């Protein structure tokens, strides 16, 4: 897609916590002439600028034309509990993300904003963090002129699905946060609204190249939104 034309946003993962926020924020931002949210089930959102094609992520190449955009916001992800196995988790958190990125890049996308996780590292002994790190590296290799990788700490919001450990973390975060200083600051809790706003802000910042953002960076990037 030509950068001399209108800016259009593509959002993958729009049925999730951060993805849903991204849809609303992108639709309200004057920079975007259109927003495409690709999902496996129809969104309960109606807006004249929104396209919501229901697609098969296992056959993404068939939907390549729907992935044309200038700015891609990827918040795809699942949990081990929801996925049911390591293979199913990797399918969503690695294979689907890389496929979206590859097809969007081939269609001319200039900017890719990816939600990852604090501690992500390819080769990590922790399966979750290892997959996140491998996904980051795979997207890097696709050669986006601008790639922003977001590594938030604990998201300070209750989800609809039951996650007892996460609920406990959210509950104690206000007391633990001030104790996490120096290199531990990036593990502090962060509002999902801040992450989503930072992703929009990064796309508007004019930065090129690859950038990794932790909590403090995201707080600063919200000013660009």
Cα separation, 113 vs 13, in Å, equals 12
Neighbours of 57 (CB within 10 A): 18
Cα separation, 155 vs 198, in Å, equals 14
Phi first, then psi: give them for residue 163, nearest 5 degrees.
Answer: -135, 85
Tell me which residues are annotated as active site: 128, 132
Q: Which of 62, 124, 127, 128 is nearest to 99 (CA)?
A: 62
Residues whose CB falls within 8 Å of the CB of residue 211, separated by 6 or more in sequence, listed in order: 147, 148, 149, 202, 217
């Amino acid at each position: 897609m030509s950068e001399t034309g209108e800016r259009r946003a593509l959002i993958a993962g729009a049925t999730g916590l951060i993805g849903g926020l991204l849809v609303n924020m992108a639709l309200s931002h004057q920079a975007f002439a259109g927003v495409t949210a690709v999902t496996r089930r129809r969104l309960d959102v109606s807006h004249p600028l929104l396209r919501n094609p229901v697609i098969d992520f296992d056959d993404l190449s068939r939907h390549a034309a729907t992935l044309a955009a200038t700015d891609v916001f990827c918040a795809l992800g699942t949990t081990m509990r929801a996925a049911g196995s390591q293979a199913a988790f990797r399918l969503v958190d690695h294979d689907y993300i890389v496929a979206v990125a590859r097809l969007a890049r081939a269609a001319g996308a200039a900017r890719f904003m990816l939600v990852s996780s604090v501690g992500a590292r390819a080769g990590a002994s922790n399966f979750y963090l290892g997959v996140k790190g491998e996904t980051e590296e795979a997207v890097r290799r696709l050669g986006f002129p601008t790639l922003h990788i977001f590594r938030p700490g604990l998201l300070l919001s209750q989800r609809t699905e039951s996650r007892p450990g996460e609920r406990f973390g959210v509950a104690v975060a206000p007391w633990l946060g001030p104790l996490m200083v120096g290199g531990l600051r990036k593990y502090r809790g962060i509002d999902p609204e801040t992450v989503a706003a930072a992703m929009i802000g990064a796309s508007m910042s004019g930065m090129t190249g690859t950038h990794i953002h932790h909590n403090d960076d995201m707080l600063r990037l919200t000013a660009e939104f």
